């Protein structure tokens, strides 16, 4: 059973309905710019709304990285969580009744990846579907020109557009082991960041062209090393699931970056450096102070 899902195949992707423009281009541009102004204002108001005492208690319990944040960063995170909770729709599936704990925990973990960056707060995600535990989904694989279909248990899924799916018991058990190196919420939302440039391929939008060269070299080498070690039957400190493809590698090392930052910095300094530059955070510097990583 795969711990995490592969990225959904194109057959799963919800396509946005094509809209037919009936108004003039000028009217359309005016409306969309007005919409942008309203959105900005609404978000600015949400950012000023701190989390409640109960919501903070949930974050403290289930998202231990926040203990390392200074007041400004914490405020920024809370503002992002407020917007995330207001704009994303949560749906309980398989009989799960949604609670504040579920929404706030997922929101705070997802928004941890957005600190310090210009962000539109996962514009590709409309809905987060939460199952009580691992759910079964149809999987398809190609082998020698034959498509093999089967049922697969999944604990998380990230669609290129619209949806993230999570199993709540895994979200909670990952939260109870903050230095375990696994976090399904960080994993699935790393896929979303990766896909914001139009492709979930292990290379998120990095800005300057030089950054892509260095990213491809460092992550390509590490991905190659992981695959070689696995092939040779040698132990690896990076989750073997990362060898599935470059997109899974990025998601897996994102989990490690936040959950085992000191180990990652010590054993894979160049990889740590690339991720620290992308996420604009240095969790290894704080790991000892929150005592979440031995």
Least distance to Zn ion from the beta carbon of 40, Å?
A: 32
Q: Please give the Cα distance from 114 to 123 (Å, whole number).
A: 12
Provide the phi-psi class of 145: left if phi over 0, else alpha when psi is between -120 and 50, else beta.
left
Q: Does 163 bind Zn ion (CB under 5 A)?
A: no
* Residue 186, both tokens: 């960080």
Neighbouring-strand partners of residue 237: none
Helices (H) and strands (E) in the chain, counts: 11, 6
Nearer to Zn ion, 85 or 184 (CB): 184
Among 251, 276, 284, 287, binds Zn ion (CB under 5 A): 251
Least distance to Zn ion from the beta carbon of 190, Å?
A: 8
Q: Which of residues 229-248 bind Zn ion (CB under 5 A)?
A: 248
Nearer to Zn ion, 8 or 59 (CB): 8
Q: Does 264 bind Zn ion (CB under 5 A)?
A: no
Tell me the number of residues near Zn ion by CB under 5 A: 3
Rounded to 5°, angle at Cα 159 from 260 and 283: 20
Least distance to Zn ion from the beta carbon of 252, Å?
A: 8
Least distance to Zn ion from the beta carbon of 241, Å?
A: 8
Nearer to Zn ion, 78 or 255 (CB): 255
Nearer to Zn ion, 4 or 170 (CB): 4
| 284 and 263 Cβ atoms separated by less than 8 Å | no
Angle between helices 184-195 and 168-176 (to 10 degrees): 110
Among 4, 43, 170, 268, binds Zn ion (CB under 5 A): 4
Distance of CA 4 to the CA centre of its chain: 13
Nearer to Zn ion, 83 or 112 (CB): 112
Q: Which of residues 89-148 bind Zn ion (CB under 5 A)?
A: none
Q: Which positions touch Zn ion (CB under 5 A)?
A: 4, 248, 251
């Amino acid at each position: 059973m795969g711990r995490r899902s592969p990225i959904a195949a194109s057959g799963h992707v919800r396509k946005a309905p094509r809209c037919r423009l009936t108004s003039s281009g000028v009217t359309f541009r005016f409306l969309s710019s007005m919409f942008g102004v309203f959105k900005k204002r609404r978000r600015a108001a949400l950012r000023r709304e701190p989390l409640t005492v109960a919501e903070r208690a949930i974050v403290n319990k289930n998202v231990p990285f926040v203990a390392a944040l200074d007041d400004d960063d914490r405020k920024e995170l809370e503002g992002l969580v407020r917007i995330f909770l207001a704009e994303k729709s949560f749906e309980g599936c398989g009989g799960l009744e949604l609670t504040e704990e579920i929404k706030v925990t997922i929101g705070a973990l997802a928004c941890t990846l957005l600190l310090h960056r210009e962000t539109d707060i996962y514009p590709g995600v409309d809905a987060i579907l939460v199952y009580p535990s691992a759910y079964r989904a149809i999987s398809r694989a190609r082998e020698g020109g034959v498509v093999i279909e089967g049922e697969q248990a999944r604990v998380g899924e990230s669609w290129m557009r619209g949806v993230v799916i999570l199993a709540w018991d895994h979200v909670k058990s990952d939260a109870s082991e903050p230095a375990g190196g696994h976090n399904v919420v960080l994993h699935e939302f790393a896929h979303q960041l990766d896909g914001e440039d139009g492709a979930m391929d292990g290379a998120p939008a990095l800005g300057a062209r030089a950054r892509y060269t260095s990213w491809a070299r460092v992550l390509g080498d590490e991905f190659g090393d992981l695959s070689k070690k696995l092939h040779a039957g040698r132990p690896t400190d990076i989750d073997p699931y990362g060898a599935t493809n470059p997109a899974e590698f990025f998601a897996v090392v994102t989990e490690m970056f936040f959950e085992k930052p000191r180990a990652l910095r010590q054993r894979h300094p160049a990889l740590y450096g690339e991720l620290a530059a992308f996420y604009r955070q240095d969790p290894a510097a704080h790991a000892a102070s929150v005592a979440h990583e031995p």
